[in-house]
Amino acid sequence: LIYNDANDYNILVSKTPEGRWQITGLIDFGDMVESYLLFEPAAALAYTYTRRREMIVIDHAYHGNASALIDLSPYKFKGPGGQGPGPWTHTVTMPDTYRGPYRSSDPEAAQKYAREVGELIARLEAEGKAPAGFMAEAALGCGGQVPLPPGYLQTVYPAVRKAGGVCIADEVQIGFGRLGTHFWGFEQQQVVPDIITMGKPIGNGHSLAAVATIPEIAAAFANGMEYFNTFGGNPVSCTIGLAVLEVIEEEQLQANARRLGERLQQGFRELQTKYPVIGDIRGSGLFLGVELIKDPATLEPAPELAQAVVESLKEEVILFSTEGPFNNVLKFKPPLVITQEDTDRILETLDRILKDKG
């Protein structure tokens, strides 16, 4: 009976846009699950399938804290204690349409940011190299809750595939209905990746993670070099994961994320009219960011204010955090089960704190 649950779980998670997916790794164990046993197999799938090593990532992205994944995480290797990228890591500009080189007022911003990926591939090919893959979230969490501009991945994915690389979607923070509009973040970009990584919400607190890919990539991984982990396919964890999926569907948590996310964004916009320190409001569903600034003209970041607001909210038992290159973005990623009463209290409390701090 338990092993039947494991098979059911594989079927449910595999309901992605093209219906061709299979779970190549389903693992459970401790805090390092996502790094050692999730992203490393995803990268290994790309390396094995393409027989290449070069990887393209977005600046300030975070994909794990194991040594091999730190090399693919600018958030880590460019931050305190970081030692720079590995020789096979190639970074492109974060497509931030609020303070990046191409802003929301530019209708071609997405294509201009995406063009950088094509130019990077051309430079690699001139050096006799080619990408193994491109790894990205559809909305960058550690980058400051920055959603990729519409059309970005629709331009990037074909360029990567034309060069023989694979496209990896990091759904650890944004998957499982959190964005409200779709179950998977990449669906907002109207693309289908070759590899998907899943973690965090997949077990609702139980340490569980998974990697899904298409059959041809999975087949290439079955090359005789045995891959295993002690807790792979743990039937108890599969049962827990199945229960999480059932609750998301039965309690309509994706719809809840969309409805309350819209309510929060409306409330944040109303606060923005009162407090010019709110420079930008962005995100989708219950994956939201509020960027705090000192000067609307220069967009000078306000990290001290952001940290002070987070600490004041914590005293009210409301948990935000700070993110972004300047640590000035209020990051809000609450449980999908929050209520309208919760959102109203959040907005009222934030209003009071900004009035006091401003």
Please check whether residues 211 and 155 belong to one and the same domain: yes
CB of 256 closer than 8 Å to CB of 250 = no
What pLDDT does 32 receive? 45
Instruction: Give, as one character, the DSSP assignment of residue 36.
Output: I
CA distance 321 to 247: 27
How many residues are present in the chain?
358
Write out the two tokens for 296.
């609307």
Please check whether residues 259 and 296 belong to one and the same domain: yes
For the cut 70, the answer to whether the pLDDT of residue 23 exceeds it is: no
Token look-up 């880590």 returns 76
Pick the residue with more confidence: 29 or 80?
A: 80
Output phi, psi for 194, to 5 deg: -95, -25
Query: Of 211, 229, 250, which residue is a domain's last?
Result: 250
Query: Of 250, 270, 295, which residue is a domain's last?
Result: 250
CB of 117 closer than 8 Å to CB of 56 = yes
CB of 278 closer than 8 Å to CB of 296 = no
For the cut 60, the answer to whether the pLDDT of residue 36 exceeds it is: no
pLDDT tier at 131 (50, 70, 90 boundaries)?
very high
Please give the single-letter amino acid code of residue 57.
Answer: V
Write out the two tokens for 21.
């997916």
For the cut 80, the answer to whether the pLDDT of residue 263 exceeds it is: yes
Please check whether residues 217 and 308 belong to one and the same domain: no
Mean pLDDT, rounded, of the chain = 89
Write out the two tokens for 330.
């209020």
- Distance between alpha carbon 309 and the CA centroid of its chain, in Å? 24
- Distance between alpha carbon 52 and the CA centroid of its chain, in Å? 24
Radius of gyration of the chain (CA): 20
What whole-number percentage of the chain has pLDDT above 70?
87
DSSP string, 308-344: HHHHHHHHTT---EEESTTS-EEEE---TT--HHHHH
What average pLDDT score do residues 130-152 get? 97
329-332 and 321-323 as β-strands: parallel, antiparallel, unpaired? Answer: antiparallel
For the cut 50, the answer to whether the pLDDT of residue 33 exceeds it is: no
CA distance 277 to 116: 32
What average pLDDT score do residues 214-225 get? 83
What average pLDDT score do residues 218-222 get? 83
What pLDDT does 223 receive? 78
Q: What is the pLDDT of residues 323-357, one digit of tens each?
A: 999 999 999 999 999 999 999 999 999 999 999 98
Please check whether residues 149 and 123 belong to one and the same domain: yes
What average pLDDT score do residues 108-126 get? 98
Q: Which residues contact residue 266 at a Cβ distance below 8 angstroms, ignoring those fewer than 6 apart?
A: none
What pTM does this model have?
0.92
Please check whether residues 148 and 96 belong to one and the same domain: yes
What average pLDDT score do residues 158-187 get? 96
Instruction: From 319, 343, 341, select the one nearest 331 (Cα to Cα).
Output: 319
What pLDDT does 35 receive? 46
CB of 144 closer than 8 Å to CB of 291 = yes
For the cut 80, the answer to whether the pLDDT of residue 20 exceeds it is: no
For the cut 60, the answer to whether the pLDDT of residue 208 exceeds it is: yes
Domain count within the chain: 2
CA distance 137 to 156: 13
The CATH number of the domain holding residue 176 is 3.40.640.10
What whole-number percentage of the chain has pLDDT above 90?
68
Instruction: Give, as one character, the DSSP assignment of residue 129.
Output: -
What average pLDDT score do residues 17-25 get? 59
Please check whether residues 282 and 240 belong to one and the same domain: no
Lowest mean pLDDT among 6-10, 85-89, 173-177, 292-296: 6-10
What pLDDT does 237 receive? 81
| pLDDT winner (highest mean) among 60-64, 84-88, 104-108 | 104-108
**Which range marks the domain in which residue 52 is found?**
2-250
Please check whether residues 226 and 86 belong to one and the same domain: yes
Please check whether residues 15 and 133 belong to one and the same domain: yes
What pLDDT does 4 receive? 55
What average pLDDT score do residues 222-249 get? 80
What pLDDT does 114 receive? 98
For the cut 60, the answer to whether the pLDDT of residue 37 exceeds it is: no
Max Cα separation, the chain? Answer: 64
Please check whether residues 297 and 346 belong to one and the same domain: yes
CA distance 4 to 24: 17
What average pLDDT score do residues 210-231 get? 79
For the cut 80, the answer to whether the pLDDT of residue 52 exceeds it is: yes
Please check whether residues 136 and 208 belong to one and the same domain: yes
Instruction: From 181, 225, 185, select the one nearest 41 (Cα to Cα).
Output: 225
Lowest mean pLDDT among 69-83, 118-132, 244-258, 291-305: 69-83
Please check whether residues 216 and 291 belong to one and the same domain: no
CA distance 195 to 22: 10
| pLDDT winner (highest mean) among 25-39, 145-159, 195-209 | 145-159
Query: Of 216, 250, 284, which residue is a domain's last?
Result: 250
What pLDDT does 234 receive? 75
Please check whether residues 236 and 263 belong to one and the same domain: no
The CATH number of the domain holding residue 350 is 3.90.1150.10
